[in-house]
Amino acid sequence: MAGELLDNRGRGDVAWSFPPIHPEGRKFGLIAVGISLIFLLLLDWEIVGWPLLMLSAGVFAFFRDPERVVPHSEGAIVAPADGLVSLIAQVEPPEELKIDDGSGIEGLAAGPVTRVSIFMSVFDVHINRAPIGGVIRRLVYIPGKFLNADLDKASEENERQHILIERADGVRLGFTQIAGLVARRIVPFVKEGDTVGSGQRVGLIRFGSRVDVYLPAGTDSSVLLGQRVIAGETVLAEMGVAKHIEGIAQ
């Protein structure tokens, strides 16, 4: 199915399959399995070995990397992460995405924009994807704390990585990968100057975290607070569309 064009008229061919494990996670899963077998086969400590073996399955599941069908709509901004929309607020973009970094490439404009925060629990897929297609103009890593990623102040105090993407028409969008209580490493798959497609994998955060998306000015969120979104598939917003949307939790 990878790379196959699918549409809403039935074109294409799909079939369910187990999601593959990302290479970044295979070593952790194999280490966990190895330790489990030592306790089970060599030490005969079943009370420790079996729980560790189940934990090994959890490690593999954490690093699962399912294929996603990315909507190819010109104005679509897709969710960069699986998880819960935990915060939606009008804020100033991070300074790292606004300031002149000496490269000659403009950052985001000053002024409040809509920030959509997606919280990923340890049960969510942790592969992050590009919200739009374009060129990676900035990739800024900032060491910091490991507060609960669900807190608003995590955007400014936690370990994080800012990414700025510029479309071919000059529209720029920034988003931030934020480490949380359990997460201890942000792993990038891209570098400055790379060209990415909408929904393309750009990195992961190990073991629970959050992603903030700073929508372009004049663009409102198409998702609601408390909604669950799917990376690369859920349309987070439509470029230039600003309207109030309400929903009922039930």
Predicted local distance difference test score (pLDDT) of residue 158: 76
Catalytic positions:
209
Tell me the C-alpha distance between 126 and 121, whole Å.
9
DSSP state of 42: I
Predicted local distance difference test score (pLDDT) of residue 52: 87
Predicted local distance difference test score (pLDDT) of residue 2: 66
187: β partners: 204
Predicted local distance difference test score (pLDDT) of residue 148: 56
Dump pLDDT digits (tens) for 147-183: 655 556 556 667 889 999 999 999 999 999 998 665 5
Which residues, in sequence order, are CB contacts of 248 under 8 Å at separation 6+?
Answer: none
Do 84 and 226 meet the contact criterion of CB atoms below 8 Å apart?
A: yes
| Helix 23-37 / helix 46-62 crossing angle, nearest 10 deg | 170
What pTM does this model have?
Answer: 0.87
What's the token pair of residue 138? 């900035």
Predicted local distance difference test score (pLDDT) of residue 219: 96
Give me the residues of the chain with pLDDT under 50, please.
Answer: none
Tell me the C-alpha distance between 81 and 124, whole Å.
9
What's the token pair of residue 19? 């999601």
Tell me the C-alpha distance between 235 and 23, whole Å.
27
Tell me the C-alpha distance between 191 and 135, whole Å.
10
